[in-house]
């Protein structure tokens, strides 16, 4: 499929999506979001893919929603359109794991898209921020909600009210990113992590992701109950028997479901 704003590639069992609108620092125009949704849906349905990676350029993961596209909109229009429709949530809804590999700016909607992924690997030059307040609005795709759950109230308030950027080290300290690597190692690290994930049993991987995600939506006791039930459900899979047998026989597991 030919895309205008993204590049899409399959490497082994990893689906790589590169945001590719360099003239606007990958600002997330409607066309880009639409294409991102299409690419994610195709990888989600593709049995040869076990993990996705979303990245941008060395200069920018994405500098936010496209401000120029938003200038002319009024309340009536954004409300009726439910602007930032479900198209924007496509990464958050994907059942296969998604890694965000972030170099450069991840601002506004860019930071929000990164947070929709399952975890973020950042290059040393990454800069995260929710600068919407500086252009007279507020985050609209998770910047006040996901960010607060990830980094806590104080840091989220700081980011959303001042509009300042945080660098990769600060992002790692507060748990926004899982690892920080040199810029020239970002893709190697992200693709290796994705390949490792894609090398596991796919249903077990999806169950693990669903269980972690559940912790954001429920109480601890309900979450623990959910975890135990889905843990039990892995015992219905050939892959659970194969994984444990392979360990006992000191050999590599030969997964049936990938």
DSSP per residue, the chain: ---SSEEEEEETTEEEEEE--GGGTT-B-HHHHHHHHHHHHHHHH-TT--EEEEE--SSEEE--B-HHHHTT--HHHHHHHTSS-GGGGHHHH-SS-EEEEE-SEEETHHHHHHHHSSEEEEETT-EEE-GGGGGT----SSTTTHHHHHH-HHHHHHHHHH--EEEHHHHHHTTS-SEEE-GGGHHHHHHHHHHHHHTS-HHHHHHHHHHHHHTTTS-HHHHHHHHHHHHHHHTTSHHHHHHHHHHHTTS----S--
- Only one of the segments 7-15, 101-109, 172-180, 248-256 lies at the binding site for ligand CO8 (rule: CB under 6 A); that segment is 101-109
Q: Residue 101 interacts with ligand CO8 (CB under 6 A)?
A: no
Output the smallest distance, CB 30 to ligand CO8, in A. 8
Stretch 21-60: interaction string toward ligand CO8, x if CB under 6 A? ---xx-x---------------------------------
Q: Residue 73 interacts with ligand CO8 (CB under 6 A)?
A: no
Output the smallest distance, CB 121 to ligand CO8, in A. 20
Please pick, from the candidates 42, 67, 157, 237, the single residue that binds ligand CO8 as defined by CB under 6 A: 67
Nearer residue to ligand CO8 within complex by CB, 50 or 104: 104
Please pick, from the candidates 10, 11, 68, 185, the single residue that binds ligand CO8 as defined by CB under 6 A: 68
Please pick, from the candidates 19, 51, 63, 186, the single residue that binds ligand CO8 as defined by CB under 6 A: 63
Nearer residue to ligand CO8 within complex by CB, 13 or 127: 127
The rounded distance, in Å, linking the Cα atoms of 7 and 12 is 16
The span from the first CA to the last CA of the chain, in angstroms, equals 24
Could you give the residue numbers annotated as active site? Answer: 65, 109, 112, 132
Nearer residue to ligand CO8 within complex by CB, 110 or 199: 110
The rounded distance, in Å, linking the Cα atoms of 77 and 83 is 8
Q: Binders of ligand CO8: how many residues, by CB under 6 A?
A: 21
Q: In what order do the strands lie in the sheet with 165-167?
A: 60-62, 105-107, 127-129, 165-167
Please pick, from the candidates 46, 77, 87, 135, the single residue that binds ligand CO8 as defined by CB under 6 A: 135
Nearer residue to ligand CO8 within complex by CB, 6 or 194: 6
Q: Residue 141 interacts with ligand CO8 (CB under 6 A)?
A: yes
Nearer residue to ligand CO8 within complex by CB, 84 or 103: 84
- Only one of the segments 2-10, 64-72, 169-177, 196-204 lies at the binding site for ligand CO8 (rule: CB under 6 A); that segment is 64-72
Output the smallest distance, CB 140 to ligand CO8, in A. 4
């Amino acid at each position: 499929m030919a895309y205008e704003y993204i590049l899409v590639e399959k490497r082994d069992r990893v689906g790589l999506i590169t945001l590719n609108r360099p003239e606007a620092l990958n600002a997330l125009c409607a066309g880009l979001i639409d294409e991102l949704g299409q690419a994610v849906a195709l990888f989600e349905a593709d049995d040869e893919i076990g993990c996705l990676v979303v990245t941008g350029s060395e200069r920018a993961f994405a500098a936010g929603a496209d401000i120029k596209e938003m200038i002319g909109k009024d309340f009536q229009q954004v409300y009726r359109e439910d602007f930032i429709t479900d198209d924007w949530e496509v990464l958050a809804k994907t059942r296969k794991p998604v890694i965000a590999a972030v170099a450069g700016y991840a601002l506004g909607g860019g930071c929000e898209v990164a947070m929709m992924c399952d975890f973020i690997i950042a290059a040393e030059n990454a800069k995260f921020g929710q600068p919407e307040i500086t252009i007279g609005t507020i985050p609209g795709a998770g910047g006040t909600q996901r960010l607060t759950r990830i980094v806590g109230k104080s840091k989220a308030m700081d980011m959303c009210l001042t509009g300042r950027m945080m660098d990769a080290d600060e992002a790692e300290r507060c748990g926004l990113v899982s690892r920080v690597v040199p810029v020239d190692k970002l893709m190697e690290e992200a693709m290796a992590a994705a390949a490792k994930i894609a090398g596991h049993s796919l249903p077990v991987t999806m169950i693990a992701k669903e269980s972690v995600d559940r912790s954001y939506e429920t109480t601890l006791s309900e979450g623990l109950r959910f975890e135990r039930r889905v843990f039990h459900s892995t015992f219905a899979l050939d892959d659970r028997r194969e994984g444990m047998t392979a360990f006992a026989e000191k050999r590599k597991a030969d997964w049936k479901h990938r």
